[in-house]
Structure 1
Amino acid sequence: MSEPKLVREKMGLELIEENDLPYEYQILEGPNNLTNWLRYYWHKDSIVGKLFVLQRACDHLKRSYKLWIMYLEHRVELVEGLNPVHYKEEYLKVNKEFEKSLYLLNKMPLLWLKYLQFLNLQTDVTLIRRKYTEALRTLPLTQHHIIWPSYLEFADKVGGLTGCKVYLKYLIFNPDEIELVLNRLIQWKDIPNSLIVFQKILDDPSFVSKEGKSPLELWLEYLDLLISFKKPNKSHDITVETFTRNGMKLFTDQQGKIYVKLATYFIKRRLYEKSRSILEEGLITVKTIKDFTVIYDSYAEFEESYINKLVEQIQHKEESNEDASHLNNELDLKLARFEKLMDRRPFLISDIKLRQDSNNVDEWLHRITLFNPENLGDILNTYVKAITTIEPYESSEGLSKIWIQYSKIYEDNGDLNTARTILDKAVKVPFKEPEELVNIWLEWSELELRQDDIEKALKVLEVATKSPLKSKIDYKDVHLPVQARIHKSIKLWSFYLDLVESSGDIQETCRIYDRVFELKIATPMIVVNYANFLEENQRFEESFKIYERGIGIFSYPTVFEIWNIYLTKALKRNLNVERIRDLFEHALDECPDNLSKSIYILYANFEIENGLTQKGFKILQKAINRVSKESIPDLYQVLISQTQKFNGLIATRPIFESAIEKVPETHTIDLVLQFATVETELKEFNRVRELLKYGGLLKSPLKNVKLWEFWNDFEIQNGNKDTFKDMLRVKREAMDQFNTDILNSSESIGFVKSSTGPKVSSINASEPVQEEQNPDAIDLDI
């Protein structure tokens, strides 16, 4: 501890010793030679001697960076570890030497760094801060990075206002460290400046947190800082609320949490009404169920806890025999408010869904069901709000339901004029789909029907179906308003026709049917209904003309059902034979193969019933060559049945033979059995056996059980031992044939056919496996 003082007292020529003289002579000869001074320095053993030499060297070589560094390092080494308060003068002397060196070498950053690091050991914060500032001003910007780590270390050590100012300066130098600066400002409670810095983060869309935090996480951290402020005032309240509301705009998916945090802040400030207003605002502002649930649950919990505290206070006052009437009144008020909050929940949820999509018709209809039916005013107001809010062309399906239900309320209450007025306004609404407008017109017509006024109902439909001047209008043309298209609505015309038919006015009914045909919107059902209507009124030829019109409009397969009905009706009326034949030929002219079967059968039956049996058979033969493969078996069955009926069993033989060749394989066996049954009746047993043999070799006996059972029964009744053996021989032949096919098939996919030698067990290859004997086998010598 006494060495520095000793050094100060002896820093003179007395430090020159006799063995130093050679070095002194060298210095006299070359005082500006750095090597001479270094040799002298290395010659000295004591720190005092070294300092003596370096001090003199720096006086001669004033701008020698190396000498100054060596000299100052020794000076720092002498005072390092000493208390900067007790030895303040010693530190100041070293500071003076640093100042002297920097006066000469002020562009040397390492020299500045050593000085600043030495100052950090001292207690004069103002001096240190000023010297850091001086260093940054003196050194070029490209060398500031050398100084800043030490400067930030000083700021971390000092903290407070000084630390905040240092970090704000550092932010200017290195904007990439904005997150570090913000953390320090938050740490040292510099609210105003941290707000400014944080706003820079939020305003920078390219910002990426080096700590892996999202902008939301940073924002919430800062909000927590604002909320946790120990002594808030009105100015701080404004700061918190402004910051929070800005956050609501930035993080729209977190509005529920943010509203709750803001309300919690004011609850801690005991500003309960303010917190309630914030929660209420959140309930009517947020647009998601998630945010709503967060706010609502917090709101309910707050009210419940407030009520519980009031109850506790009332109990305490009652126990102390104090007046608690004002608290009881407040409790009643809070309970009523809490109950109302519970009742409002479904309406608030409905509000959210409508804020998400104000054109959601289903939600408007659901909202109406939430009201008590007795609250007619609220229900009507909701209808009005829905109608005025919904954009028709952007609404979901079912907008007409709102108008219809709205009018029904007035109808149910006997105000028919208002109901009609509502429907009159509804038909002018630019609906998205024409079906919506059709529903309105139909409702209006039904309203008149419910009043037993069929004339007004018809008048409504007459207005609805009135065609615009433009003739060619496509019902599906979305570029036209629905009012210009609904005159082509088949739903509207169908209702109109039903109503007119029920009125009994035949001429008007026919006029409307004809109008439907003119508009080219007739459907097969309209054609059939029109024809039936005329038939019911004994206008048969006109009904046939309607069928003809329908046939001219539609093509196959749509027209197929019209033809079926038309032909049936024509046959029933016993029209001229040639006319009916022309109808059948016309029907078959373009009929697809897969639909023509029933028409051919009907045609053939007509000819047969009229005594032209052969002509009917020819029609069936012709049909067999034209219909689809799936229809051929049915036609053969009809042909066989009719041939047997009119020409006897023998005449069916060529038909069976032809059928067996042409029908799909799935029907061949059935035909063989049917043919065999016919031959059995004719006692042609040899022909039966040939047929069965033919059929038995078509499939494996395992898949042809029905045939083999038939043959077995046949031989039992009509055969003998030899014919039974022949049957078994054929069965064995079929078995061998199809088993061989299976084996060949197995070989083709990689299975190895077993040899004809004895089978070998996989367990013991030396012992042959004995084939199992069938105890039920018939011993026949074949």
Structure 2
Amino acid sequence: MACVMPISAADMIYEEEVLRDPFKLGAWLRYLSARGAAPPAERAAIYERALRALPGSYKLWHAYLTELACSPSTTARTPPSTPPSSARWPRRLLTRARRALDRALRALPVTQHHRFDPARAEELVAFLVSAGRFREAAEQLAAAINDDGFRSAKGMTKRQLLLDLCYILAKHPDDVAGMPVEAILCSAVRKFPEDAGVLWTTLAGHYARKGIHNKARDVFEEGATAATTVKDFRVVFESYMHFEHAVVSAELDNGVVQEENSASVLQGCWLADKDDADLNMARLEWLIERRPELLNSVQLRQNPHDVQSWHDRVKIFHADPARQAATYAEAVRTVDPMQATGKPHTLWLAFAKMYEGCGLLDSAREVLRRATQVNFKSADDLAAVWCERTEMELRHQNSEAAVELIRLATSEPSPEVRARAAADARGEPAQTKLHRSLRLWCFYADLMEARGALEPACADLRPALATPVLVLTHAALLLEHKLFEDAFRVYQRGRYGASAPERVRDLFEDAVRRAPPRTKKAVFLRYAKFEEDFGLAARAMKLAVYDVYAARAAALFGALRTREVYHHAISGGGLPDTDARAMCVRFADLETDLGEVERARALYAYAAGFSDPGAHPEFWRRWGEFEVAHGDESTFREMLRLKRTMAAAGHAGVHATEIGTMKKRPCTGQQVEYRGTLQPECKRTRVAY
């Protein structure tokens, strides 16, 4: 029934305006403002008329709804027979407000829908939690977390919303009954693995508060065995421990009460005994004992190829050989030698030693046999397995088998094996490189020496593996047994000659460093002769050799004796220009340290004859520093004159070696030979010492 509103003379102006243009919002607002003191029913009638004309006006709807919500005791359209104090009247007003809200939402334009912000879900959740409606709050949080387009108005991340949801699910299991709690939390574990420990603990706490203890234990076990970080494991394990402590305490309290209330008829009947305190205590002790194993499992889940973690796991089961054997078997089956952290062959060796310690030699031999078939990253790892296999036979007095094993290991692979290795895309396996292992051959040599075998074991060595240590060891063994011819043949095979000059150079350089002063000169001469015969002629007077020679001469006889070494290096003609220049500079530094400035200047002048300023600026810089420190104006000018001469010779294309043949002005007291050449006594072609 429509409300009949009396119209006064003062309202006629506004009535005419709204009738003249009912779609003008300002006219309706002025009309409502003029009737501000009118009864709510009359103002409601004006609002109804305005909204029929302007159903899409947000301002009209907002004002109308606000006025309805703030005036719950008004009697708009109230039938005269309904008392204001009726209990139905507030519910009627709420119904009218809801219907008005529905009409407002349906009439609101799409361009204003963003005013109803879904990002305010946190405020709704907070209201629902304060009202005790935990299920609805959990549903709202779950919807916000699953909505990829959700953006929190308070800046909360989905991780924070998830933790709030976990708190509600764990603390109020009865209120959220019927919700798929396990599915929600398991999906959250997959979505947020960094909070897996908190999520597993929340799910277990949910079941614990519902009294489903076995299910809670299953969740704790799954969380502890699925944790991939130590942080998550610590969270789950500490909660698990607290849970078991609480169960044991509760069982102990319940056991005291049951003992007081038990009937005498059922005394001693195990069917009537509901005391699980011993069982729960055993569970707690078992959990504490398993902590190192569970923690080690976390480390292996992080890196299953960590060799040290597997060794630590075996130590955990030191009192259970069966568990140790199972752990070793799992380790050698899991660890990939190409990805291993550490030395994977040590797992096989420790596995075999465990069986050997238990007296199971056949099992130990089988383990080592399988280890020799593993493609290790390095041939030395495989050689260590063969050496351990041989040593185990020696420890059990089976020397013949040990010799056969070491000979088998040092034998070359067959052509078929080489062909398969060449066709393998993963590269050459360690088995095809085993016969070149120096460690294996050294072990072979030691074994032959320990057995006192008279056969020259070095005859089995390949030339590339005949190191000085092996040659000397076997030669000494043969000399002990007066087999001089065999020893000579060993030495003869060990001599490299021209086949491996680099190896011989290593030996000579080591001999130069270690030889006593009396024999050092002879070693140098043999070194030079070797380079002349098998190497490079320029290496016969190698700069490094003179450096070692000069250093040893200075250490044994003093700085004055090094003059002979430098003079021989410079005037001998064996060094190239670069090395000769460096030797001159070092010789000049020595003379400067000894106070012989003129000798040093003569050396610089000599080296200037084959030093182009453009190609060797460092030499001229050193000479300039020398003249600034020890010379005068005339000597500095002489240095500059030589520098200009060499620079001009370089621009003219004259080689440095040709300058010595050019005509020069004779020095004071110098005899000039026929054709203008300098005699050897000239200071530019000699070095005084």
Q: Could you say which TM-score interval applies, normalised by the shorter chain?
A: 0.5 to 0.7
Q: 1:333 aligns with which of 270, 279, 282?
A: 279
Counterpart CA distance in 1 for 2:468 and 2:544 is 17
For 1:380, the equivalent position in structure 2 comes to 325
How far residue 557 of structure 1 moved from its aligned partner, in angstroms, is 5.8
Q: Deviations over 1:291-331 (max 9, x none)?
A: 11222222222222332333334445667797898778422
* 2:76 is equivalent to residue 132 of structure 1: no
How far residue 128 of structure 1 moved from its aligned partner, in angstroms, is 2.3
Counterpart CA distance in 1 for 2:156 and 2:497 is 73
Unaligned stretches of 5+ in structure 1?
1-6, 13-47, 80-89, 149-169, 572-577, 598-625, 641-660, 670-693, 696-740, 742-782
**1:499 match: secondary structure:** helix
Q: Are 1:445 and 1:457, in contact at CA under 8 Å, matched by a contact in 2? A: yes
Q: 1:417 aligns with which of 359, 362, 367?
A: 362
**1:558 match: secondary structure:** helix
Q: Are 2:456 and 2:490, in contact at CA under 8 Å, matched by a contact in 1? A: no
Q: Are 2:456 and 2:474, in contact at CA under 8 Å, matched by a contact in 1? A: no
Q: Are 1:182 and 1:198, in contact at CA under 8 Å, matched by a contact in 2? A: no
Q: Deviations over 1:200-255 (max 9, x none)?
A: 54553x7664423332211101222233337336524xx22222212211221222
Counterpart CA distance in 1 for 2:150 and 2:18 is 51
Instruction: Rate the CA distance shift 1:73–1:144 in 2: closer, same or farther, 3 A.
Output: farther
Amino acid at match of 1:381: A
For 2:111, the equivalent position in structure 1 comes to 142
Q: Are 1:524 and 1:562, in contact at CA under 8 Å, matched by a contact in 2? A: no
Amino acid at match of 2:169: L
Instruction: Rate the CA distance shift 1:591–1:276 in 2: closer, same or farther, 3 A.
Output: farther
1:290-305 correspondence runs (5 A): 290-305=231-246
Q: Are 1:264 and 1:275, in contact at CA under 8 Å, matched by a contact in 2? A: yes
How far residue 491 of structure 1 moved from its aligned partner, in angstroms, is 0.9
Counterpart CA distance in 2 for 1:483 and 1:49 is 115
How far residue 457 of structure 1 moved from its aligned partner, in angstroms, is 1.2
Q: Are 2:436 and 2:465, in contact at CA under 8 Å, matched by a contact in 1? A: yes
Query: More deviation in 176-185 or 437-446?
Result: 176-185
Counterpart CA distance in 2 for 1:344 and 1:394 is 29
Counterpart CA distance in 1 for 2:449 and 2:498 is 23
How far residue 144 of structure 1 moved from its aligned partner, in angstroms, is 4.4
Counterpart CA distance in 1 for 2:507 and 2:63 is 104
How far residue 584 of structure 1 moved from its aligned partner, in angstroms, is 7.0
For 1:115, the equivalent position in structure 2 comes to 64
Amino acid at match of 1:297: E
For 1:106, the equivalent position in structure 2 comes to 55
Instruction: Rate the CA distance shift 1:315–1:424 in 2: closer, same or farther, 3 A.
Output: same
For 1:71, the equivalent position in structure 2 comes to 31
Q: 1:549 aligns with which of 482, 486, 496?
A: 496
Give the TM-score, by structure 1 length.
0.59
* 2:427 is equivalent to residue 479 of structure 1: yes
Amino acid at match of 1:212: G
Q: Are 1:287 and 1:353, in contact at CA under 8 Å, matched by a contact in 2? A: yes
Q: Deviations over 1:389-439 (max 9, x none)?
A: 223332222222222222223333333322222222121122233222222
Counterpart CA distance in 2 for 1:396 and 1:144 is 60
For 1:511, the equivalent position in structure 2 comes to 459
Q: Are 1:392 and 1:399, in contact at CA under 8 Å, matched by a contact in 2? A: yes
Query: More deviation in 423-432 or 322-331?
Result: 322-331
Q: Are 2:293 and 2:316, in contact at CA under 8 Å, matched by a contact in 1? A: yes
Q: Are 1:464 and 1:486, in contact at CA under 8 Å, matched by a contact in 2? A: yes
Task: Supply the RMSD in Å over aligned alpha carbons.
Answer: 4.4
Instruction: Rate the CA distance shift 1:594–1:118 in 2: closer, same or farther, 3 A.
Output: same
Q: Are 2:197 and 2:233, in contact at CA under 8 Å, matched by a contact in 1? A: yes
Q: 1:214 aligns with which of 157, 161, 170?
A: 157
Q: Are 1:633 and 1:667, in contact at CA under 8 Å, matched by a contact in 2? A: no
Counterpart CA distance in 2 for 1:553 and 1:529 is 21
How far residue 194 of structure 1 moved from its aligned partner, in angstroms, is 5.4
* 2:377 is equivalent to residue 426 of structure 1: no
Aligned length: 533
How far residue 383 of structure 1 moved from its aligned partner, in angstroms, is 1.6
For 1:276, the equivalent position in structure 2 comes to 217
For 1:538, the equivalent position in structure 2 comes to 484
How far residue 262 of structure 1 moved from its aligned partner, in angstroms, is 1.8
Counterpart CA distance in 2 for 1:665 and 1:56 is 122
Instruction: Rate the CA distance shift 1:348–1:192 in 2: closer, same or farther, 3 A.
Output: same
For 1:708, the equivalent position in structure 2 comes to none
Instruction: Rate the CA distance shift 1:419–1:136 in 2: closer, same or farther, 3 A.
Output: same
Amino acid at match of 1:252: P
How far residue 506 of structure 1 moved from its aligned partner, in angstroms, is 4.3
Q: 1:496 aligns with which of 444, 465, 468?
A: 444
Counterpart CA distance in 1 for 2:526 and 2:332 is 59
Counterpart CA distance in 2 for 1:541 and 1:667 is 52
Q: Are 1:465 and 1:492, in contact at CA under 8 Å, matched by a contact in 2? A: yes
For 2:552, the equivalent position in structure 1 comes to 631
Q: 1:365 aligns with which of 302, 311, 318?
A: 311
Counterpart CA distance in 1 for 2:96 and 2:187 is 41
Counterpart CA distance in 2 for 1:360 and 1:242 is 34
Instruction: Rate the CA distance shift 1:535–1:584 in 2: closer, same or farther, 3 A.
Output: farther
Q: 2:396 aligns with which of 451, 468, 484?
A: 451
How far residue 193 of structure 1 moved from its aligned partner, in angstroms, is 8.0
Higher relative contact order (CA 8 A, sep 6+): 2
Counterpart CA distance in 2 for 1:592 and 1:551 is 19
Q: Percent identity?
A: 25
Q: 2:202 aligns with which of 254, 261, 284?
A: 261
Counterpart CA distance in 2 for 1:399 and 1:190 is 55
How far residue 49 of structure 1 moved from its aligned partner, in angstroms, is 4.2
Q: Are 2:225 and 2:294, in contact at CA under 8 Å, matched by a contact in 1? A: yes
Q: Are 1:353 and 1:363, in contact at CA under 8 Å, matched by a contact in 2? A: yes
Query: More deviation in 419-428 or 535-544?
Result: 535-544
Q: 2:349 aligns with which of 388, 401, 404?
A: 404
Counterpart CA distance in 2 for 1:259 and 1:455 is 60
Amino acid at match of 1:352: V
How far residue 503 of structure 1 moved from its aligned partner, in angstroms, is 3.6
For 2:166, the equivalent position in structure 1 comes to 223
Q: Are 1:310 and 1:331, in contact at CA under 8 Å, matched by a contact in 2? A: yes
Q: 1:525 aligns with which of 466, 469, 474?
A: 469
Amino acid at match of 2:292: P
How far residue 443 of structure 1 moved from its aligned partner, in angstroms, is 1.4
Counterpart CA distance in 1 for 2:505 and 2:524 is 21
For 1:95, the equivalent position in structure 2 comes to 44
For 2:300, the equivalent position in structure 1 comes to 354
Instruction: Rate the CA distance shift 1:321–1:469 in 2: closer, same or farther, 3 A.
Output: closer
Instruction: Rate the CA distance shift 1:267–1:582 in 2: closer, same or farther, 3 A.
Output: closer
* 2:250 is equivalent to residue 309 of structure 1: yes
Instruction: Rate the CA distance shift 1:312–1:119 in 2: closer, same or farther, 3 A.
Output: same
How far residue 104 of structure 1 moved from its aligned partner, in angstroms, is 2.8
For 1:36, the equivalent position in structure 2 comes to none
Instruction: Rate the CA distance shift 1:185–1:234 in 2: closer, same or farther, 3 A.
Output: closer
1:749-768 correspondence runs (5 A): none
For 2:632, the equivalent position in structure 1 comes to none
How far residue 99 of structure 1 moved from its aligned partner, in angstroms, is 2.0
Counterpart CA distance in 1 for 2:242 and 2:527 is 83
Q: Deviations over 1:104-148 (max 9, x none)?
A: 333444333333333333542232232233233334312446xx5
Counterpart CA distance in 2 for 1:138 and 1:76 is 25
Counterpart CA distance in 1 for 2:426 and 2:592 is 53
Amino acid at match of 1:129: R
Which structure has the larger Rg?
Answer: 1
Unaligned stretches of 5+ in structure 2?
73-92, 562-585, 597-628, 630-689
